[in-house]
Chain A
Amino acid sequence: MHTLKGTKYAIFFGLLPALIIYLGIAVVPIGMSAYYSFMNWDGIHPMTFTGFDNFTEIFKDSIFWLSVKNNMIILLTGVLGQIPLGLLLALLLNRSMKGAGFFRTIGFLPVVISSVMVSLIFGTVYNTEYGLLNSILGSVGLDSWQQNWLGDTKWSMFSISVAYIWQNCGFFMVIFLAALQNIPNEVNEAAELDGASGLNKVMRITIPMIRGTILIAVVFSISNSFRVFDLIQIMTGGGPAHATEVMTVYMYNNAFVNMRFGYGSAVSVLILIFSLIVVTIVNRLGKEKA
């Protein structure tokens, strides 16, 4: 008992620095944003309290709802694109084959590269004049498929989604690889003895065994999708004409470009609320099935 008492203090003091930093850079700013969201403030002139004016203006702004829609597209590409693709890559690489380590590294590489680089790389790939994609399409005679990938509002969100999948599916691959390696060998062997193989084994044995991990990956993917900013800001800046604007870009433009910090804070409060709602729903759905 005596020793435990001592460690409690030790644990507390050990946690203290991290706790202070976390409070300082996460919790306090969220509180401040909530406070600013009821103000009209350009950062220079004195603040004035305006109640819910910022929120009513946001809800009336069609550009905000467009950015919400784009966020939903990003969310769906995350959940329906990155996770299945990450799982597929993990299944492919989770075997003893030549160069598995090499391919794992390659798969994980996009996660390590900064978003700025990813945006610039894809900006070049999508370039209409000399971009890789249009050149390839042209050289195999598919000229009619060539598009203005980022500049045409029909294609811009799609093009960004592809870059977003490419950037993050390696992250989920690594998570799934770790989970796959934790499946006990006895289970796999028993399944094989019973005649399960290939797709059958994956669907009935592997996926149920890593269900928990998949759920966590989905939550990760959703919270990531609400945070996506740099990729879009650099590739298109939310343009053309707001077509690729997500909520974070909308917030940035209002707060930092238009100098409406109160309004921007209100948007960020809404981002927080939206992501909490979606994550809670997913958690509920995950639990019910279990």
Chain B
Amino acid sequence: MKTTKNMKKTLLIGSVALLTLVTAACGNSNNANKGSADGEKVTLNMMHPWTSPNVDNEVYKARIAAFEKLHPEITIKQDGVAAAQYKTKLRTLAAANNLSDINVVWPGADLEPLVAGNLLMPIDSEMANWSSILSTEALAGFNQGGKQYAIPTKQTFVDIIYYNKEMFAKVGYDTFPETYDQFIDAIKKLKDSGITPISLGNKEQWPLQSSYLSAIQERFVGSDFLAKVMNKEAKFTDPEYVKALGVIEELSKLKAFNTDANNMDSVQGQDYFIQGKAAMHISSSTVDSRIRITNEEGNKFGIALFPSVTGGLGDAKKSSGVAQYGIAISSDLDEKQKAAALEFMKFFVNEDLYKELISKGVVVPAKVDVPADASEYLKEMIALTSNGTSPVFDSIIPTQVTSVMQNGLQAITVGRMTPEQLAKDVQAALDGMK
């Protein structure tokens, strides 16, 4: 008796659950159909990586909201994906030929497969909207085969050293060390006085590659080295490059990083520095807003670039930078969606966006005047980064080779690999690419 009752109950619950599932599924497809079929309303999907607490992310989201208010007939359905996973998801969707209608893309090596697969729509016919405020240089990363595929929102310099002035003063450095030897000396003194010299959050593995290696390689081998490697005119195993990788080994051996560097993510790494637990943090120009601009105690911190090295072939004044957050439209849209997407792009990336970003202290790739009342910190950042730009490692080197480099850099920090071995592995990965 009892079992039959239970059975009935289970059956009932089961069928109700099934019914909800089926109706829910139907409901969804109905809505989706309405979106594009109905004459007036257009729904566009947009995937973006704007989930972290950076100020520019807030600006972007506010602009999407403003656009929807201005155009009630167009709905932007956002899919925010954490930055660390974003590129993986973008590539996977690209492989499945299932990109969102509007996408945020990275330049250079990351853009290449999307273009090769004809997944993005060239926007050359619309360039009149942007050509007056954006230089060809800023657009170059998103231009392939003579066609423009995306418009960048900001200029990110990836290798800014944020340092705690008080801590450096304590060990006798009133200004940031100019040369690598002084830099190492400062690290040793900081270490001796019980301060963690550098806070690093390398769990996601890109910081050592993007923020560290990009800067260090510029000092040792110069800006055109990576391009030469791609053209097979130079090799990662060249002694100068191995020396550059040796910097990571030297810093690890000096125990310059916090002990849990490989378990903390990049935001935790920033927090560690902001809370005064470390003397330096190396990261992008964007996090200046967290570290100084919106921080009441921001004046404790200074900014600098990686110091010069003896015998280096590069330029110690150059900062590694990349025009970022290219807004691109999928090639797989019908006429109505295409018109709506272009409308969105024209509104989203325009002079107002760049001005708004500048007012929040973010460096932009556009020729927009820096307002007189802009943050002093921003002016300092612009001054620091205006002496030439060198490439970021992963904007030139293909993803699968970059991943060997990132894993290897992490291996060096835990003493499981030597710079020579890593150089050999990375070169082999590049040579073995099909």
Contacts and interface: CB of A to CB of B under 8 A. Distances in A.
Interface string A222-242: 000000000000001101111
Contacts of B113: 42, 44-45, 259
B15 interface: no
A50 B407 CA distance: 27
B413 interface: yes
A257 interface: yes
Contact of A239 (B96, B400, B410, B417): B410
B414 A153 contact: yes
A258 B394 CA distance: 13
A253 interface: yes
B309 to A, nearest CB: 26
A81 B404 CA distance: 34
A240 B261 CA distance: 10
Interface stretch (B35-43, B87-95, B168-176, B349-357): B87-95
Interface in B113-153: 113-114, 116-117, 119
Nearest to B260: A128
Given A40-B434, A148-B260, A256-B91, A243 B416 contact: yes
A233 to B, nearest CB: 10
Interface string A16-52: 0000000000000000000000001011110010100
Contacts of A242: 407, 411
A243 B95 contact: no
A240 B410 contact: yes
A152 interface: yes
Contact of A237 (B204, B260, B414): B204
Contact of A259 (B91, B204, B262): B91
14 contacts: A44-B113, A127-B263, A128-B263, A150-B260, A150-B262, A240-B411, A240-B414, A241-B408, A241-B410, A241-B411, A242-B411, A253-B403, A256-B88, A256-B91
Given A152-B414, A259-B95, A259-B113, 15 more contacts: A42-B113, A43-B94, A45-B113, A45-B116, A45-B117, A148-B263, A150-B260, A153-B416, A236-B203, A237-B203, A237-B204, A241-B413, A256-B91, A256-B92, A257-B403
Interface of A: 40, 42-45, 48, 50, 123, 126-129, 148, 150-153, 236-237, 239-243, 253, 256-261
Interface of B: 88, 91-92, 94-96, 113-114, 116-117, 119, 203-205, 258-263, 399-400, 403, 407-408, 410-411, 413-414, 416-417, 434
